[in-house]
Amino acid sequence: MKKLHQLNFENTYARLPDTFHSRLYPTPLPAPYLVSFNANAAQLIDLDSAEMSRADFAEHFCGNRLPPNAEPLAMLYAGHQFGHFVPQLGDGRSILLGEIRNSAGELWDVQLKGAGITPYSRQGDGRAVLRSSIREYLCSEAMHGLGIPTSRALCIVGSDEQVYRERIETAAVLTRLAPSHVRFGSFEVFFYRGQYDQIATLADYVIARHFPDLADAGDKYLRLLDEVTLRTARLMAQWQAVGFSHGVMNTDNMSILGLTFDYGPFGFMEAYDPGYICNHSDPRGRYAFDQQPQVGLWNLSRLAQALSPLIPRESAETVLDGYAPAFYEHYTRLMGAKLGLASVTREDIPLISELLEMMQASRLDYTNLFRSLGQFNSAAEADNSQLRDQFIDRATFDGWAAAYRIRLQQESGTDSERKARMDRINPKYILRNYLAQIAIEKAEKDRDYSEVDRLLNLLAKPFDEQPGMESYAAPPPEWAQHISVSCSS
């Protein structure tokens, strides 16, 4: 493990021409202090966790002091926001310090979110607030714990500097780590400007850094689109299987590597509702839970359009045609595993869909129902009353349970072995909005960050039974129904 001054910065994105970014320094943050530090994420860049005890640690991770060899910049991109093209977006409050190569040979972007005004701030203040920083910090690590590709969060640095949103809040800087922050909109900006050479330059950069096996292929750009399509399809399947809603699936929030990032008004679904909308700023439900797979394909079509100077249209359409089969194959396999099935066939699809319909009718907690399903007894005439009593329509459940029992009896192994498998894919703990809200209120009111750290540790192992933490798996209390998250979250 290394000290701060020993980190190996390489900064490959800074080597691209100036048309791809703007070089600038972070805006100093007054009197910064450390809110929370994630030792697990620190390992990604070989940072010694003992460094968090340095008196100047917060100064380094809010941008007041720059690590040696950092080359700070804001990335340029455009994007479709709620279906409408915005010709220039870019990092309006995030600054990429550079990239660190770890001992495993991996390059990790180190980005400060909330580091101040950039040329792309669009009259914004360039700051993040403590509330939204805590939400992203916890959710990115929760998604990692669930095995879903995501950006990571190293630490939060706070300040008493006032920031104006719907109310006056305090500023914070989140240090975000990711293999790349290149997004669909990074290509769109040059397509709409007619700068096709830059599209090729960026595509070559992405291939060289992330898909080197494609570099010598004659159809490398088409194969790049194919790789991004498959990664996005799998990501959407994982979101759907775990009940996660992103909330703002604009093309500028879509990772070229199929990562979950740019967390804002996200939400883990509680009472099962396919039309769940987590974003108060999305009244028409463009990014509702059940729309995410379709939006993923729509966004990919925008990426394909941006790559069209490099790829024949017919070939791109063929690649996009592979999205739906890839999504459904992965989603069906995940849902079958959530039911404890070692393999899934077409005949199992009604078993999955009928369960979801019953859950919707009874408004059952999505996470808790699947977790409790592991306790299903497949023996003939077995008593599954505890599970049965969760459903309003018991007769319909009885019919479904009979079919489920027959299907389970076709599997090898015991009920206890099946439960162990199911507990490895059906989490007990998710980042419920009310849990995040409790942590935020403690942090804002009393500078008490203990709940942030407690949730960070809890969500790192979401599938484990954690003695003394059972209350964190409880459905939301009544007051939580009034929590609202929007694009400012």
Give the active site residues: 252
**Structure-block tokens of residue 360:** 């919707």
Closest CA to 97 of 65, 55, 126: 65
The neighbour count for residue 314, using CB atoms within 10 Å, is 7
Q: Which residue has the tokens 């206890």?
A: 416
Q: Which residue has the tokens 């950006």?
A: 151
Q: E strand or H helix at 37, and its extent?
A: strand 33-37
Q: What are phi and psi of 344, to 5 degrees?
A: -125, 135
Q: Using an 8 Å Cβ cutoff, are 71 and 63 in contact?
A: no
Closest CA to 14 of 99, 78, 83: 99
Q: State the DSSP string of 87-152.
A: S----SSEEEEEEEE-TTS-EEEEEEET----TT-TT----EEHHHHHHHHHHHHHHHHTT--B-E
418 Cβ contact partners less than 8 Å away, ≥ 6 residues apart: 340, 374, 378, 408, 411
Instruction: State the Cα–Cα distance between residues 476 and 468, nearest whole angstrom.
Output: 18
Instruction: State the Cα–Cα distance between residues 97 and 27, nearest whole angstrom.
Output: 13
